[in-house]
């Protein structure tokens, strides 16, 4: 069996630009989500808001290491990864504000947004279901003789317990499909701690059972997260083999904005490292970022969000009269007589 | 030339779909190699189409999920569940994912899910069930249930060509029991999907059936004509979702009476939907209350004699028609 499990991947040669792109994507994600939190509290967002606070380093690492033409099935805390993979701030806001111009046209909301043209899968809530879907796209490409692209499917420690995830991990191993499954172990499946979710020491141990390489990292360390994801995605692309990556971190917010996370362990929360604080310190120390540059980025990104918000707010909302209320793509004879 | 079976027509439809379109592929448990599926529907196809006939692990969720991904990519996957009962594992993927994809994204999800449905002697609770009600309930789903050799071939071709997710219910009892010595795939023609077929004309009562129950309805028609002088019009529904509303209402407008014969459980099924259709939109056409004949309201029994009592028979249809006509 081939099941090399690399523990605590060492930081390899990450390019200067990749490190900067990664950091910037982290900041993009955090600042846009802070704005979403504000809009939510103003009552301007329909439906729930789920934030990726604390997960930006891991998420952005996945998004940064993908290439155009790859497939990304994000989870609810992947704003940073989505932006890194090419989603625009306007596209995000259109969905959160229920605009007809958005990818989901008001038919589905917020974290469910996606664009098949961009390779971002619009998730259904049963997150494990997205793993075989990403794998199916890779299978289709192989059948058509198109190679070179990889899939990245993001789940949490919670989805590692569902049957769909197991079926998919086994299937991608059996069919040898280059799907990277990145598991953000953020400590909680909604309110339930890890002790309620799994009984093994580390979720990465499961890779050996599936016969695929496993990787794990401290995902609060941007450099380590980037190195680990870069290694896993490169391995998938070069070998065609699925990879399992487990990033350890702590969710720095409630499950959603409706949830204060009061059930979380206070000492654990107090001691948690925020990748958005550590990241720029680490980058300055490594000579990746100039002093003051982080604040300049912050200003530029904030202006970008302000501009995008002004544009999107002026766009028309979804409204019933504009809908065709048609669930089928074809005009079936039986539908024409429907009441 | 020997008569073509319903199973043979399905195999031929898959063969021709694979031949005519490189985007078609088959994915399911045991479908490849010399085995050719639990009911041998895919036997021999992997010899001809190689890597487009793919064996899957016993993972119904992953099978459906991978088909959805491939369909999003523009291919036309055909997945096989060994028994319709096992598609319950893929329920989430089928109704929440495949069924919502077009509406949510504007992009079609052209997959065909083949489900061997229905009872056979000794099948028992988990190898006998019908699937149309629970899968057809959800918007975006298309459900076919062919009963004839021509329809087995033509409707499977239509399903694969469709841009919507199609649940293709093929009745296990019909695989070898229904044969047609005049079947010719080059001449076979089916009504458009979504239209019902009149399999026997009659003036006294409409009997709507589909899948294997069509043959019980036709046997009932013989008995009713011979022994009671009652002529029933037998409608083969063929497509259950969307429902061929015009065909049903048109027949009831001629006969004034309706009996629906379904092998499925009674609660919340297609038979109930048909009665609701006629009650709401054809009330003025009716000379008697519409009646449905369904299975008994228990899980499906294993022992053949219990199963025969559980599943509706031609005699039950005869009794229902007489009750309706004498109202």
**pLDDT by residue (tens digit) across B16-69?**
999 999 999 999 999 999 999 999 999 999 999 999 999 999 999 999 999 999
Residues of chain A with pLDDT > 90, as a percent, come to 92
Nearest CA in chain A to B59: A167
Q: Where are the domains of chain B?
A: 4-180, 197-325
Whether chain A has a CB inside 8 Å of the CB on B86: the answer is no
| 3-class DSSP assignment, residue A44 | coil
Give the phi and the psi of residue B77 in degrees, each rounded to 5: -70, 145
Quote the radius of gyration of chain B (alpha carbons, Å).
Answer: 19
| Mode of pairing for the β-strands spanning B76-80 and B142-144 | unpaired
pLDDT tens-digit map of B255-268: 999 999 999 999 99
- The pLDDT confidence band at residue A13, using thresholds 50, 70 and 90, is low
- The secondary element (H helix, E strand) that includes residue A135 is helix A130-143
pLDDT band at A208 (very low <50, low <70, confident <90, very high): very high
Q: What band does A7 get if pLDDT is binned at 50, 70 and 90?
A: very low
Interface TM-score (ipTM) > 0.90: yes
Catalytic choice (B80, B97, B127, B132): B127
Mean pLDDT of the residues in chain B: 96
B231 is catalytic: no
pLDDT digits (tens, 9 = 90+) for B185-204: 988 877 787 899 999 999 99
Name the percent of chain B lying above pLDDT 90. Answer: 97
The label of the residue with tokens 């204060």 reads A260
CB contact under 8 A, A327 and B242: no
Q: Which two tokens stand for residue A210?
A: 């599936």
Is the confidence at residue A18, as pLDDT, over 50? yes
Of the candidate CATH numbers 3.40.50.970, 3.40.50.720, 3.40.930.10, 2.130.10.10, the domain formed by B4-180 belongs to 3.40.50.970
User: Are the beta carbons of A262 and A231 closer than 8 angstroms?
Assistant: no
Closest CB to A164: pick one of B52, B61, B75.
B61
pLDDT at A5 over 50: no
Segment A245-264 shows an average pLDDT of 95
Note the pLDDT of residue A334.
Answer: 63
**Token duo for residue B55:** 């064996």
Rounded CA gap, B260 and B88, in Å? 25
- Cβ neighbours of A129 in B, within 8 Å: 61, 65, 92-93, 96-97
d(CA B155, CA B161): 10
Residues 90-109 of B with CB under 8 A from A: 92-93, 96-97, 99-100, 102-109
What are the residues facing B170 on neighbouring strands? B116
**DSSP one-letter code for B95:** I
Q: Does B59 touch chain A (CB under 8 A)?
A: yes
Q: So what's the architecture of B197-325 in CATH?
A: 3-Layer(aba) Sandwich (3.40)
The reply to whether domains B4-180 and B197-325 share a CATH topology is yes
Q: Do the chains contact at B246 and A103, CB–CB below 8 Å?
A: no
Nearest by CB: A137 against B73, B164, B241: B73
Q: Cβ of B66 and A163 within 8 Å?
A: no
Give counts: helices (H), strands (E), chain A: 13, 8
> Which residue from B65, B163, B244 is facing A133, i.e. has the nearest CB?
B65
Of B82, B33, B30, B93, give the one whose Cα is nearest residue B56.
B30
Instruction: Write the pLDDT tens digit of every residue in B99-149.
Output: 999 999 999 999 999 999 999 999 999 999 999 999 999 999 999 999 999
């Amino acid at each position: 069996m081939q099941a090399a499990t690399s523990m605590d991947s060492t930081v390899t040669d990450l390019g200067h630009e990749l490190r900067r792109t990664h950091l910037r994507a982290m900041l993009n994600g955090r600042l846009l989500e802070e704005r979403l939190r504000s809009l939510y509290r103003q009552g301007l967002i329909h439906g729930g808001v789920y934030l990726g606070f604390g997960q930006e380093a891991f998420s952005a690492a996945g998004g940064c290491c993908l290439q155009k033409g790859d497939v990304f099935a994000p989870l609810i805390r992947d704003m940073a990864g989505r932006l890194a993979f090419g989603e625009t701030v306007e596209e995000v806001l259109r969905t959160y504000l229920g605009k007809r111009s958005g990818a989901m046209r008001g038919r589905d909301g917020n974290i469910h947004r996606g664009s098949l043209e961009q390779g971002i899968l619009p998730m259904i809530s049963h997150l494990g279901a997205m793993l075989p879907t990403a794998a199916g796209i890779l299978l289709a490409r192989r059948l058509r003789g198109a190679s070179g692209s990889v899939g990245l499917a993001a789940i949490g420690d919670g989805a590692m317990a569902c049957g769909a995830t197991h079926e998919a991990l086994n299937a991608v191993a059996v069919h040898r499909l280059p799907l990277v499954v990145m598991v953000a172990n953020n400590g909680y499946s909604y309110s339930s701690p890890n002790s309620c979710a799994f009984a093994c020491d580390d979720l990465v141990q499961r890779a050996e059972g599936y016969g695929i390489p496993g990787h794990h990292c401290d995902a609060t360390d941007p450099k380590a997260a980037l190195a680990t994801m870069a290694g896993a995605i490169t391995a998938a692309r070069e070998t065609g083999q699925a990879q399992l990556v487990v990033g350890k971190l702590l969710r720095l917010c409630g499950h959603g904005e409706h949830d204060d996370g009061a059930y979380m362990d206070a000492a654990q929360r107090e001691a948690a490292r925020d990748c958005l604080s550590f990241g720029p310190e680490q980058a300055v120390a490594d000579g990746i970022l100039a002093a003051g540059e982080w604040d300049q980025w912050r200003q530029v990104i904030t202006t970008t969000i302000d501009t995008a918000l002004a544009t999107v707010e002026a766009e028309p909302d979804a409204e019933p009269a504009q809908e065709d209320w048609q669930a089928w793509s074809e005009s079936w004879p039986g539908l024409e007589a429907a009441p | 030339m020997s008569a073509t079976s319903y199973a043979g027509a399905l195999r031929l439809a898959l063969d021709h779909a694979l031949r005519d379109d490189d985007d078609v592929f088959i994915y399911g448990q045991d479908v490849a190699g010399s085995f050719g599926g639990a009911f041998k529907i895919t036997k021999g196809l992997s010899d001809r189409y190689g890597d487009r006939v793919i064996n899957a692990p016993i993972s119904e969720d992953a099978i459906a999920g991978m088909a959805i991904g491939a369909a999003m990519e523009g291919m036309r996957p055909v997945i096989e569940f060994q028994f319709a009962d096992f598609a319950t594992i893929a329920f989430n993927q089928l109704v929440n994912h495949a069924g919502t994809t077009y509406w949510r994204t504007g992009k079609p999800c052209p997959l065909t899910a083949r489900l061997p449905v229905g009872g056979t002697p000794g099948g028992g609770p988990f190898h006998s069930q019908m699937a149309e009600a629970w899968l057809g309930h959800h918007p975006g789903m298309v459900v076919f249930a062919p009963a004839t050799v021509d329809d087995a071939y033509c409707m499977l071709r239509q399903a694969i060509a469709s841009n919507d997710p199609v649940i293709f219910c093929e009745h296990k009892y019909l695989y070898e029991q229904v044969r047609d010595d005049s079947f010719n795939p080059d001449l076979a023609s089916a009504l458009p999907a979504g239209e019902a077929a009149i399999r026997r004309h009659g003036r006294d009562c409409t009997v709507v059936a589909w899948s294997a129950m069509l043959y019980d309805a036709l046997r009932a028609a013989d008995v009713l004509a011979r022994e009671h002088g009652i002529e029933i019009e037998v409608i083969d529904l063929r497509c259950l979702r969307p429902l061929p509303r015009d065909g049903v209402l048109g027949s009831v407008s001629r006969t004034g009476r309706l009996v629906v014969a379904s092998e499925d459980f009674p609660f919340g099924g297609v038979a109930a939907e048909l009665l609701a259709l006629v009650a709401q939109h054809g009330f003025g056409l009716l000379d008697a209350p519409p009646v449905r004949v369904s299975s008994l309201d228990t899980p499906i029994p294993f022992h053949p004699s219990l199963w025969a009592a559980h599943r509706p028979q031609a005699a039950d249809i005869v009794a229902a028609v007489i009750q309706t006509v004498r109202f």
